[in-house]
Structures are given as structure tokens and as C-alpha cells.
Homo-oligomer: A and B are copies of this chain.
């Protein structure tokens, strides 16, 4: 399948961005392709379109499946697996946040928790103790809050975000209660 210049540039840019955020370039590109395609594609087609090895596509799709960003589907009369992703940006964003939370944030909280629980912790300088505890608390709050956000419907969420400007007032009101 031949890409239009805009699709191609979109995919390349997305790959680049992925790379900057610690996502393998091919993985990000494949995801961008499926996103733009808007319909299930076979691994062969992906490999051909992006000019990468079939095996690379296989590995990358496995990664995307693990993140639940991509689902397998089938086309009548075609034995090959096909792959598709959601066309809803918010849905995708949620899956990514969820994935990073599980893979990076929660292990970090666990490690910080271990430090604090460790008998050695009491020996640390007060400043160090405090900063480690504050770091943990900060991450914990962010996580709880992210969970809260992820639970919302896309529509509700968009409203919350768009409402940003009003948040300050909201907080002021709450303080007065």
C-alpha cells in the first residue's frame, strides 16, 4: 500500500516522537499507520508499507498487543491475522497512561516504599528521608488522580480538560467550604 505524503509524514513524525518518549520507533510507526488506516491491516501489508522486515512487524505488533493498543481481527476469505487500533485518541491515550502506570510508576512506588520501610532508612539524613517520602507521596497522588481521570468517559474528560480555566475558582470555592 502506498502512503500519501501527509500520511507518510504523520507516521514518520509519530515514530520520532515515540522514540523521544522511550517507545521503539517501529512500534510507534506501526501504530500510527494503523491509526490512520482506520481499518484492519495484515502484517505483510504493514511491512511492505513501512519498508521494514516482516519479523520486525511481528515483534512490534506483539508489543502493541501487550499495551492493548492493537487488536487482532479477521477478514473473510483471508487466513492472515489482521490488526487494528482504536480511532479514538482519548481511548488510545488512556491505554498508554495505563500501560506506563503499570510498567513504570507502580514499580517505582514499590521501590520507594521499600526504601522507606527499610531499617536503613532511619539512618539516612533527614533531608534525604524527607525528599524520598515527598517523592513517593507526589507520585502516589498523581497516580490516584490519573486513575480518576482514566475512569471518565471521553466526553466527560474533554469537558474537564476544557474547563481547566475554571479550576482555580473551583478550588477557591472548595477552600471556603
A-to-B contact residues, CB < 8 Å: 4-7, 9-10, 13, 17, 19-22, 35-36, 38, 87, 89-90, 93, 103-104, 108, 111-112, 115, 118, 120-121, 123-124, 127-128, 131-132, 134-135, 138, 141-142, 144-145, 147-149, 152, 156, 158-168, 170-171, 174-175
Oligomer copy total: 2
Q: Which residues of B contact A90 (CB under 8 A)?
A: 138
Q: Which residues of B contact A87 (CB under 8 A)?
A: 127, 131
Q: Smallest Cβ distance from A78 to chain B, in angstroms? A: 21
Q: Which residues of B contact A112 (CB under 8 A)?
A: 10
Closest B residue by C-beta to A142: B161
